[in-house]
Amino acid sequence: MTNIKKIAIAGTGGIGSHFISLLFDFGVNRNQFDFVGTQIDAYDADDISSSNLLHQNYTTDDLGKLKVEVMADRYAITPVKRFMTAEDFPNYDLVICCVDAMEFRKSLYEYGWKNKDFLWIDGRCTSHNGFVLNSKLPKKELEEFITDSKERGGCLLQFEKDKQTAHALPIVVAATMLQVFLNTLRGEPSFQQGFTI
């Protein structure tokens, strides 16, 4: 078993809000890891808006509240009311990347390449496509998944938001990330996962 006692979750939107729910379920209800004995910090500075309700783990009662505060109330994690930065990485055994910012993702990968024992899991989706990557994959493979883009994306494309078209892909990606996390704890291999629906 790999000893992971400090976890950071960067982003509590489409993927992160579902991942936290699954993490709580498998840690508390299914006893698959020591949830209570693990420090779990979630980073996000965004409020919940009506556009989030279509694909994120929030309800109308949550509108206007900080995402991390709602997650903390529901799932007993520690809210950090700001976006995570590279300066935070050394404080954790594992970083779960659920953000839509390539700049952050690139800094995470590069930190991992310089610090070989540092663990991370990265989940991403855009409409019909999703991926889950992790720090154990070869650098050459991972380099194909990062760019110098400063843009932020999201799980849904704008026309889907306009038409109120929801997809289950953020939940699929979150569940796959959870399995990669459990595999990491158990010392079992995980491979790059990609989804096209």
Separation of alpha carbons 123 and 133, rounded Å:
7
Mean pLDDT of 150-174: 75
C-alpha dihedral (64, 9, 83, 92), degrees to nearest 10? 150
Tokens of 70: 């709602």
Separation of alpha carbons 141 and 149, rounded Å:
18
CA 69 to chain CA mean position, Å:
16
Q: Name the residue among 1, 180, 5 with its Cα closest to residue 92.
A: 5
Q: Answer yes or no: pTM beyond 0.85.
A: yes
Is the model's pLDDT at 150 over the cut of 80?
no
Separation of alpha carbons 106 and 118, rounded Å:
15
Residue 145 confidence class, pLDDT cut points 50, 70, 90: confident
Residue 114 confidence class, pLDDT cut points 50, 70, 90: very high
Where do the domains of the chain lie? 6-196
Residue 56: per-residue pLDDT = 93
Residue 149: per-residue pLDDT = 76
Is the model's pLDDT at 10 over the cut of 80?
yes
Please list, in sequence order, all residues whose beta carbon lies within 8 angstroms of the beta carbon of residue 114, skipping any fewer than 6 positions away: none
Q: Which CATH superfamily groups domain 6-196?
A: NAD(P)-binding Rossmann-like Domain (3.40.50.720)
Residue 147 confidence class, pLDDT cut points 50, 70, 90: confident
